[in-house]
């Protein structure tokens, strides 16, 4: 056992992440207003409703404020007869490598975990609006740096993520992540497979609640998620990005991107048993349980993560886990090394010992 622990310490991938020195511009007060705009000004963003459509128009108006010629594409689809749309904004389209930043914008039709009223809707301030608010503010700050970024950035708003079944359905017979699954099925309509390639995808889901503490989500590409944790810790956000996070696998919008081969990470909290944020799929997922500081933590960490790798003048000093998809190869190699190690150092000597004993016994028998 000691030998295996020693081996793991030597061979486990454990890169030091060094953040590039640059002033971060993400403003949490702006992000908080964007949460409020969605939850209090627009209202419930339940698929099939007018407010749901208004929310898409709100996102477009915010991008047009950044630059009136910002273009966008709808990805339209239906779920059991209800019209839905994912919405995609691209920045730096001339660059060949693509970073996707995503969040879902629909809010859950029924508060299936509410202690009092499970038929009431979920305001979705954290579960939905927080991730979208951070995307809007990131769009503003990254647009200012666009000429110095060596990548294209997609801001991708997913529909129909949050209507699946926990204790009951949000909308009868809907699955989780209806929008992202269909988007990835059609992703080749949105990029040129011979000229462009994906670097990574970062999903923001439930990133604005008070007492923010992210988990290690195990569908995520672990080298990518680990790097984002290190970036956040180095910015001083050590409670939100703990050294030993809780671990769980969550079916969320990133899963289809992982399956397509894009390194992807889900920034999400414990929502199943969390006394520090017990409002998941209840009517209490509202503005009063949102924290400016949590929005800052998420926004600044993602902003810094992008500068570390993609800000032109900082590339040479970058240290991190890139390329993130070495994950699988590394894990495979690690297993291979461990087995070889066991065979060479433990099993071989035992075999040699047994053979020697057998030979000695044979000699004795011959005498």
Residues at the interface with ligand 1BN (CB under 6 A): 127, 162, 166, 176, 205, 250-252, 271
Report in angstroms how near the CB of residue 177 gets to ligand 1BN at its nearest.
7
- Closer Cβ to Zn ion, 135 or 306, answer by number: 135
Residue whose C-alpha is closest to residue 220's, from 174, 253, 185, 196: 253
Q: C-beta of 250: minimal distance to ligand 1BN in Å? A: 5
H/E stretch holding 201 reads strand 197-204
Size of the site for Zn ion (CB under 5 A): 2
Nearer residue to Zn ion within complex by CB, 38 or 222: 38
Closest approach of Zn ion to the CB of residue 236, in Å: 29
Q: Dihedral sign, CA of 135, 140, 144, 146? A: positive
Nearest-approach distance from CB 127 to Zn ion, in angstroms? 4
Which CB contacts under 8 angstroms, 24+ apart, belong to 168-171? 168/110, 168/112, 168/118, 169/110, 169/112, 170/108, 170/109, 170/110, 170/112, 171/46, 171/47, 171/79, 171/80, 171/82, 171/109, 171/110
Question: What is the CA angle 151-141-288, rounded to 5?
Answer: 125
Helix (H) or strand (E) holding 229: helix 222-234
| Total Cβ atoms within 10 A of residue 101 | 23
CA pair distance 132, 164, nearest whole angstrom: 20
Which partner from the list Zn ion, ligand 1BN, none does 250 bind, CB cut-off 5 to 8 Å by kind? ligand 1BN
Taking the least distance from each CB to Zn ion, the nearer of 42 and 269 is 269
Q: Which does residue 146 bind out of Zn ion, ligand 1BN, none, counting CB within 5 to 8 angstroms by kind?
A: none
What are the backbone angles phi and psi of residue 82, rounded to the nearest 5°? Answer: -100, 130
Residue 176 binding: pick among ligand 1BN, Zn ion, none (C-beta 5-8 Å cut-off by kind): ligand 1BN
**Does 106 interact with Zn ion (rule: CB under 5 A)?**
no
* Distance set, CA 27 to CA 2, 100, 135, 140, 270 (Å): 48, 21, 12, 10, 25
Determine, following the binding rule CB under 5 A, whether residue 127 of this chain makes contact with Zn ion.
yes
- 103 vs 302 by CB, closer to ligand 1BN: 103
Nearer to ligand 1BN, 90 or 280 (CB): 280
* Stretch 144-173: interaction string toward Zn ion, x if CB under 5 A: ------------------x-----------
Q: Which is nearer to ligand 1BN, 166 or 196 (CB)?
A: 166
205 binds, among ligand 1BN, Zn ion, none (CB under 5 to 8 A by kind): ligand 1BN
**Positions that interact with Zn ion (CB under 5 A):** 127, 162
């Amino acid at each position: 056992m000691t030998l295996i622990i020693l081996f793991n310490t030597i061979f486990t991938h454990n890169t030091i992440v060094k953040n590039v020195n640059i002033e971060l511009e993400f403003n949490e007060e702006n992000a908080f207003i964007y949460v409020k705009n969605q939850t209090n000004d627009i209202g419930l963003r339940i698929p099939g409703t007018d407010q749901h459509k208004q929310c898409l128009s709100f996102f477009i108006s915010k991008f047009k404020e950044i630059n009136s010629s910002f273009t966008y594409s709808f990805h339209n689809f239906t779920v059991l007869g209800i019209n839905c749309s994912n919405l995609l904004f691209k920045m730096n389209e001339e660059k060949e490598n693509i970073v996707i930043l995503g969040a879902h914008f629909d809010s859950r039709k029924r508060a299936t975990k509410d202690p009092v009223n499970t038929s009431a809707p979920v305001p979705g301030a954290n579960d939905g609006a927080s991730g979208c608010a951070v995307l809007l503010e990131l769009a503003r700050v990254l647009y200012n740096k666009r000429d110095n970024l060596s990548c294209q950035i997609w801001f991708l708003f997913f529909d129909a993520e949050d209507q699946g079944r926990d204790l009951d359905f949000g909308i009868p017979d809907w699955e989780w992540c209806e929008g992202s699954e269909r988007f990835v099925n059609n992703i080749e309509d949105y990029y040129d497979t011979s000229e462009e390639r994906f670097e990574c995808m970062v999903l923001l889901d439930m990133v604005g609640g008070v007492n923010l503490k992210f988990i290690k989500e195990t569908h995520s590409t672990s080298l990518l998620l680990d790097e984002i944790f290190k970036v956040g810790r180095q910015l001083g956000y050590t409670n939100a990005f703990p050294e030993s996070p809780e671990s769980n696998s969550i079916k969320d919008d990133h899963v289809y991107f992982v399956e397509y081969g894009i390194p992807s990470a889900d920034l999400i909290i414990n929502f199943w048993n969390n006394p520090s944020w017990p409002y998941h799929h209840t009517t209490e997922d509202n503005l009063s349980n949102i924290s400016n500081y949590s929005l800052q933590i998420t926004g600044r960490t993602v902003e810094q993560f992008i500068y570390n790798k993609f800000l032109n003048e900082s590339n040479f000093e970058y240290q991190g886990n890139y390329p993130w998809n070495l994950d699988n190869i590394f894990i495979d190699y690690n297993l291979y090394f461990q087995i070889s190690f066991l065979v060479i150092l433990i099993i071989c000597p035992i075999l040699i010992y047994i053979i020697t004993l057998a030979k000695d016994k044979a000699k004795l028998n011959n005498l």
